[in-house]
Amino acid sequence: MSAQETMWLVFALMIGVMFLADLWLFNRNSHEIRFREALTWTLVWVGLALAFNGGIWYFLGHDKALEFLAGYLIEESLSVDNLFVFIMIFAFFKVSRAQQPKILKWGIIGALVLRGIFIVVGIGLIERFHWMIYLFGVVLCYTGLKMAFKPEEQVEPEKSLVVRLLRRVMPITRKQHGDRFFVKRRGVWAATPLLLTLVVVETSDLIFAIDSIPAVLAVTRDPFIVYSSNVFAIMGLRSLYYLLAHVMEMFRYLKFGVSLILAFVGAKMLLTDLVEIPLALSLGVIVGTLAVAILVSVVAGKAGDKAGTGD
């Protein structure tokens, strides 16, 4: 068995065991996730990602470990921006805190499948059509600039094409029915608003994947590194969502940091045939940008608190 085959096996075992433990054993029943539980699971997933990165360093070498870390940080930072959209979606559909974990659980399962498809397609396109690198680069630069300068848009799930199609295919109940996706009324199965919520969450994640996958492909085109870094970031999304709700001020200006990262990796793709940007430098830019964005957010939050109290 080769070193990479060994790491694939380790990856499958780690994710399989933790998937069952997190989503099906400890959080099998719908319940509101408190701050301490969210913090614990967030630290667990971050710790596992770093431990796995250590395994990559040992079995696959220094460069692959840096690629994984860069990909993980890119995906994690973009995921945080995605979580803000989830908050607005839940508010729109009036999904209670107790029901939200089930949506996130199935959303994660769908994301794991969709990301795998996107990665295979993305790498295949780049290997077959070299010019796709420049297209991905332009998309990332445009998205970064748009994120930095365009005002926040309101989420309007009812205007979603997928939601309109679902309404045509089957009846939708007006009220929630606990944490059920389907109910039977008058002998006919109908979907609940909870299913609509899941559909919108999956659709939004699909849209975010259009940015996140090319961004990771800017630092590595190794399918194993791209997918494993994505999976570790995605698996921690559920706990990170609830942690984010309690420490919102830490991410006030994160979108500007994320926009800069997207523009940087986009430029890296556009310059791929002219200038080789060292992976260590790319990782430094990503880590430094995220650190500055969070620091500015915290400082601004404290200044706002002082101004509010009149100190």
Distance CA 71, CA 65 (A): 10
Per residue, what are the HEC states of 140-197? Answer: HHHHHHHHHHCCCCCCCHHHCHHHHHHHHHCCECCCCCCCCCEEEECCEEEECHHHHH
Task: Work out the pLDDT band at 170, boundaries 50, 70, 90.
Answer: confident
Residue with tokens 């220094």: 62
Q: What is the distance between the alpha carbons of residues 36 and 34, in angstroms, rounded to a whole number?
A: 6
Whether residue 311 is predicted with pLDDT greater than 70 in this model: the reply is no
Answer whether residue 309 shows pLDDT above 60. Answer: no
Cβ proximity of 59 and 7 under 8 Å? yes
Domain range annotation of the chain = 3-309
Strand stretches in the chain, DSSP E: 182-185, 188-191
- Compute the distance between CA of residue 122 and CA of residue 223 in angstroms, rounded to an integer: 10
Phi, psi of 276 (to 5 degrees): -95, 110
Alpha-carbon separation of residue 260 from 47, 73, 264 (angstroms): 26, 14, 6
Residue 280 in this model has a pLDDT that exceeds 90: no
Q: Strand, coil or helix: what is 189?
A: strand
Question: Quick one: 114 exposed, middle or buried, by C-beta within 10 A (0-12, 13-18, 19+)?
Answer: middle
Chain mean pLDDT for the chain = 81
Cβ atoms of 189 and 170 within 8 Å: the answer is yes
Q: What is the mean pLDDT of residues 161-185?
A: 79
Lookup: tokens for 270 = 């556009």
Q: CA-CA distance, 91 to 102, in Å (whole number)?
A: 15
H or E stretch covering 173: none
Tokens of 95: 């999904």
Per-residue confidence (pLDDT) for residue 135, from 0 to 100:
87
Distance from C-alpha of 76 to C-alpha of 239, rounded to nearest angstrom? 12
> What are the tens digits of pLDDT across the range 21-62?
776 666 666 666 777 888 888 899 999 999 999 999 999 999
pLDDT at position 27: 62
Task: Give tens-digit pLDDT for 231-255.
Answer: 998 888 877 777 776 666 566 777 7
- What number is the average pLDDT over the span 172-186? 78
Spatial contact of 291 and 163, defined as CB atoms under 8 Å apart: no
The larger pLDDT score, comparing residue 228 to residue 100, is at 228
Count the Cβ atoms, other than its own, within 10 Å of residue 25: 11
User: What's the CA angle centered on 49, arms 89 and 126, to 5 degrees?
Assistant: 75
pLDDT in tens, 187-196: 788 888 888 8
Greatest extent of the chain over all pairs of C-alpha atoms, in Å: 66
Q: What is the CA radius of gyration of the chain?
A: 20
Q: What is the pLDDT of residues 53-101, one digit of tens each?
A: 999 999 999 999 999 999 998 888 887 767 777 777 887 788 887 778 7
